[in-house]
Structure 1
Amino acid sequence: MSAEQTPAEKNSFDPQAFDVVDLIRTKRDGGRLSQSEIDWVIAAYTAGRVADEQMSAMAMAILLRGMRRDEISHWTRAMIASGERMDFSSLKTAEGAWRRTADKHSTGGVGDKITLPLAPLVACFGVPVPQLSGRGLGHTGGTLDKLESIPGWRAALSNEEMLTQLDEVGAVICAAGAGLAPADKKLYALRDVTGTVEAIPLIASSIMSKKIAEGTDALVLDVKVGSGAFMKSRDDAEELARTMVALGTDAGVATTALITAMEAPLGLTAGNAIEVQESVEVLAGGGPADVVELTVALAQEMLTAAGMPDADPAQALQDGRAMDTWRRMIAAQGGDPEATLPTAAHQHTVTAGVSGTVTRLDAMAVGIAAWRLGAGRARKEDAVQAGAGVRMHVKPGDDVTAGQPLFTLLTDEESRMARAEEALDGAVDVDADGGPVEVGDLVLDRISAEDL
């Protein structure tokens, strides 16, 4: 695994080539930035030649004026060029044939533990899955936080360790190195404090610069929409998905996107260790139907993109192949796949006030409750509790009786319970008449290069 050039070589530029104020004015007035202008402004900002307040103005101009497809593509390539690009071309079959790698990215939602069963599921078909993940900021922990609840498991791997594990096990979930798209890290922090997080060109280029720099051959995007997602409207979710598919396609990465619902949480858990436990249930051939459905749908997309359209991921969950790969993946990173997972010191049950049929379960409310219990973090420096979170006992369409458990709240600090329960006030609607409830589709749409 190697970089094409060192960041220093890539970031060499003429500081006097352009005036950043002129470029800001161009975008402010709805103009188009050229490839050379974009290359310069990203390199200059990464090198500290463009000040934060100037890049803040540029980000706001992009938010208000947007970018054309070629501009976003150039912007993304410039972000990639700020650092190294990984190379998995050395991965070969026993016969010496090229092994296409496949990766997945989710825009995030409550109870979204799909990466955990998905990576070993795809890998058990011989498709390497290099999944570089992060820690969560907000409702619950990120993928790495969840996995770190497994005793001994470690997220930090060298490039050599990652490549060896991909070759021998087929799947790796680990922390992304600082060398991938460092311009994005700097710009992401700036967007967070300048009200420009919502700019779709900047969201798309942030996600795709890192994913393309990871060097994967195929990428499947899970773009979530609903109360528990960053994208609240279907139109915004579709625009983001189309933009990212276009960026991947322009970069030579086989890219597709699924638009998936996030009105209710995925599965029956929101936390860290409890989501790992639920993922293991899926790998054992059980688990909640919605987690299984989405895991299989994304696996099918990844396998098709990797040249295996006839593979049957649902069968691999049932026959134990995916579980075998999971155990090997966890053990390869120092974890004990048979170890008892951490449990919270305190728990509290929230019960139904009336009988009837559940018509709504608010994903955002569950996410906030999990965060307040200690499963997530408000700042990147905060610690998370491995055992904290929310277990859900009902989903939309289920019948309940008064006094039946709706949620079990879990935390190591009993003082957190009251505010978490407060977050769940009004999170569940129950129809006392008990009529049938239409539960919407989980996968709402699919977008590929042919749809652009």
Structure 2
Amino acid sequence: MDARLIIAKLRDGVPPSADEISWFAQGLASGAVTDAQAGAFAMAVLLKGLGEAGRVALTRAMRDSGKVMAWDLPAPVVDKHSTGGIGDCVSLLLAPALAACGAMNPMISGRGLGHTGGTLDKLEAIPGFRTGLSEADFRTQVARIGCAIVAASADLAPADKRLYAIRDVTGTVESIDLITASILSKKLAAGLEALVLDVKCGSGAFMKTLDDAEALARALVGTAQGAGCMTAALITDMSQPLATAAGNALEVIEVMETLTGTSVNVALRDLTVALGGEVLALAGLAADAEDGGGRISRALESGAAAERFGQMVAAQGGPADFVERWPDRLPAAPVVREVPALADGYVAAIDGQVLGNAVVHLGGGRLREGDKVNPSVGLSDLAGIGEETGAGVPIAMVHAASDAAAEAAVKAVQAAYRIVPDVPDEPPLVMKRIA
């Protein structure tokens, strides 16, 4: 086959065949397809689209460009994927809760991307926690504990790794076809039987409007099901941070407070329950999503999820007594500053992207690939939409490495908040279900 002819077909609005897409994906992985050809392919897909059959073919082809895991376990293998947001630490709650409910969750996660936080960075705020497990250790841990949260290995969907890097520098990141294939090729290479998707919508998400979020959710669900994985999606609110903290160690604190019941974040718990209920039902471990949600809720309330979390932390190199002594085990920033509100009234809107970027500039994320992340910095005690405040009253706390960094973050957070005289409507946590 010839990469030029495949690109020309796409350019002219003719979807390539499944065999042509498979050949192209293998060429991405092997290097037979050049960077210029990969960029032209990505731009042609962005402009002309692949269609539903083409999305499925590209997802399967990128999945099959490397190792595809197969499991021999006594329970269904399931997972969750979020499209990214601010204060979104659901994975840290959901993985152990699913394990406590009898599911197997080999969660392959990522690092912070742009203004959004990354699950791996959050877990690495725990001293000693290792996200780079060998395949043998990964398999052993999932079989023994029921969950593991790890980084992707180099041989998992290598075509996606190559194409993602090309998209990043060619202005083609926004293609729904390419986003869909990128997300699902990695997830399906993990050998899943059921998948629930958390598609974020709002100021702190990549998809700002409900229409865009729904288009992505429908593409993801249809493609995953077309590739043979039982899948559903929830479109959820990201017009404000999910947790009241944004930053790696600070979000782990909120997770531990919710896991141990010392101070439960209701939104964080409710979304964990909703997503977990969906995937347990898809996997046949619950009669329906409501029954599955009840099982997740009981795992959280009983301490069973906290116990599994502690086992996971210890197995991946963290402190064996982390669940009992987490307040002593997490790093703290040397500078903590209040963020005073600039007006009297009620919080009407929060620019989540501005908050996320504030965390990145504090050192809690990466401005360039390879930047070292400071796990202790970030924001806490974030006021939510509908909260009453007054001029000079704190709407957040900044945790910083220096006074100068703290001052810059205070100004950024103040700019992210819109305060109005009247009580605004609060957005629903779950906006829509797609299945």
Instruction: Please report the TM-score for the alignment, with normalisation by the length of structure 2.
Output: 0.94
Q: Residues of 1 paired with 2:410 and 2:340: CA distance?
A: 11
2:268 maps to which residue?
291
2:418 maps to which residue?
429
Q: Please tell me whether the aligned partners of residues 107 and 224 of structure 1 are also in contact (alpha carbons under 8 angstroms).
A: yes
2:73 maps to which of 91, 97, 100: 91
Q: Residues of 2 paired with 1:21 and 1:156: CA distance?
A: 38
What secondary structure sits across from 2:162 in the alignment?
Answer: helix
Structure 2 letter corresponding to 1:446? R
How far the C-alpha of 1:238 sits from its partner, in A, is 1.1
2:351 maps to which of 362, 370, 383: 362
1:324 maps to which of 304, 307, 312: 307
How far the C-alpha of 1:121 sits from its partner, in A, is 0.9
**Per-residue CA distance 1:159-199 (angstroms, 9 max, x = gap):** 11111111111111111111110010000000000000001
1:275 maps to which residue?
251
**Per-residue CA distance 1:14-36 (angstroms, 9 max, x = gap):** xxxx2222221111111110112
**Per-residue CA distance 1:349-372 (angstroms, 9 max, x = gap):** 111122222212221121111111
1:372-387 equivalence runs, <5 A: 372-387=361-376
Structure 1 letter corresponding to 2:416? A
Q: Residues of 1 paired with 2:15 and 2:300: CA distance?
A: 49
1:13 maps to which residue?
none
How far the C-alpha of 1:307 sits from its partner, in A, is 1.2
Structure 1 letter corresponding to 2:86? V
Q: Residues of 1 paired with 2:346 and 2:276: CA distance?
A: 33
2:162 maps to which of 156, 164, 186: 186
Q: Please tell me whether residue 305 in structure 1 is matched to residue 282 in structure 2.
A: yes
Q: Please tell me whether residue 217 in structure 1 is matched to residue 177 in structure 2.
A: no
Matched-pair identity in %: 45
Unaligned runs of 5+ in 1: 1-17, 93-98
Q: Please tell me whether the aligned partners of residues 258 and 445 of structure 1 are also in contact (alpha carbons under 8 angstroms).
A: yes
Q: Residues of 1 paired with 2:385 and 2:257: CA distance?
A: 21
Q: Residues of 1 paired with 2:302 and 2:409: CA distance?
A: 39
Q: Please tell me whether the aligned partners of residues 397 and 437 of structure 1 are also in contact (alpha carbons under 8 angstroms).
A: yes
- Give the number of aligned pairs: 422
How far the C-alpha of 1:426 sits from its partner, in A, is 2.6
Structure 1 consecutive aligned stretches of length 4 or more whose deviation exceeds 6 Å: none
1:245-260 equivalence runs, <5 A: 245-260=221-236
Q: Please tell me whether the aligned partners of residues 80 and 198 of structure 2 are also in contact (alpha carbons under 8 angstroms).
A: yes
Q: Please tell me whether residue 116 in structure 1 is matched to residue 92 in structure 2.
A: yes
Q: Residues of 1 paired with 2:391 and 2:68: CA distance?
A: 56
Q: Please tell me whether the aligned partners of residues 140 and 270 of structure 1 are also in contact (alpha carbons under 8 angstroms).
A: no
Q: Please tell me whether the aligned partners of residues 342 and 391 of structure 2 are also in contact (alpha carbons under 8 angstroms).
A: yes
**Per-residue CA distance 1:376-400 (angstroms, 9 max, x = gap):** 1022200110101011341111111
Q: Please tell me whether the aligned partners of residues 141 and 377 of structure 1 are also in contact (alpha carbons under 8 angstroms).
A: no
Q: Residues of 2 paired with 1:349 and 1:380: CA distance?
A: 31
Q: Please tell me whether the aligned partners of residues 380 and 398 of structure 2 are also in contact (alpha carbons under 8 angstroms).
A: yes
Q: Please tell me whether residue 43 in structure 1 is matched to residue 9 in structure 2.
A: no
1:349 maps to which of 315, 335, 338: 338
How far the C-alpha of 1:140 sits from its partner, in A, is 5.1
Q: Please tell me whether the aligned partners of residues 140 and 271 of structure 1 are also in contact (alpha carbons under 8 angstroms).
A: no
Q: Residues of 2 paired with 1:140 and 1:47: CA distance?
A: 31
What secondary structure sits across from 1:374 in the alignment?
Answer: helix
1:420 maps to which residue?
409
Q: Residues of 2 paired with 1:42 and 1:163: CA distance?
A: 27
Q: Please tell me whether residue 139 in structure 1 is matched to residue 126 in structure 2.
A: no
How far the C-alpha of 1:260 sits from its partner, in A, is 0.8
Q: Residues of 1 paired with 2:383 and 2:414: CA distance?
A: 15
1:29-108 equivalence runs, <5 A: 29-88=12-71, 90-92=72-74, 99-108=75-84
1:6 maps to which residue?
none
> Taking structure 1 as reference, are residues 127 and 307 closer, same or farther at Cα in structure 2, changes over 3 Å only?
same
What secondary structure sits across from 2:231 in the alignment?
Answer: strand
Structure 1 letter corresponding to 2:284? G
What secondary structure sits across from 2:154 in the alignment?
Answer: coil
Q: Please tell me whether the aligned partners of residues 368 and 420 of structure 1 are also in contact (alpha carbons under 8 angstroms).
A: no
Q: Residues of 1 paired with 2:113 and 2:419: CA distance?
A: 31
Q: Please tell me whether the aligned partners of residues 373 and 409 of structure 1 are also in contact (alpha carbons under 8 angstroms).
A: no
Q: Residues of 2 paired with 1:372 and 1:422: CA distance?
A: 12
Unaligned runs of 5+ in 2: none
**Per-residue CA distance 1:32-51 (angstroms, 9 max, x = gap):** 10112111222223222221
Q: Residues of 2 paired with 1:45 and 1:167: CA distance?
A: 33
What secondary structure sits across from 1:347 in the alignment?
Answer: strand
Q: Please tell me whether residue 390 in structure 1 is matched to residue 379 in structure 2.
A: yes
**Per-residue CA distance 1:290-310 (angstroms, 9 max, x = gap):** 111111111111211121223
Q: Residues of 2 paired with 1:332 and 1:20: CA distance?
A: 45
1:24 maps to which residue?
7
Q: Please tell me whether the aligned partners of residues 140 and 377 of structure 1 are also in contact (alpha carbons under 8 angstroms).
A: no
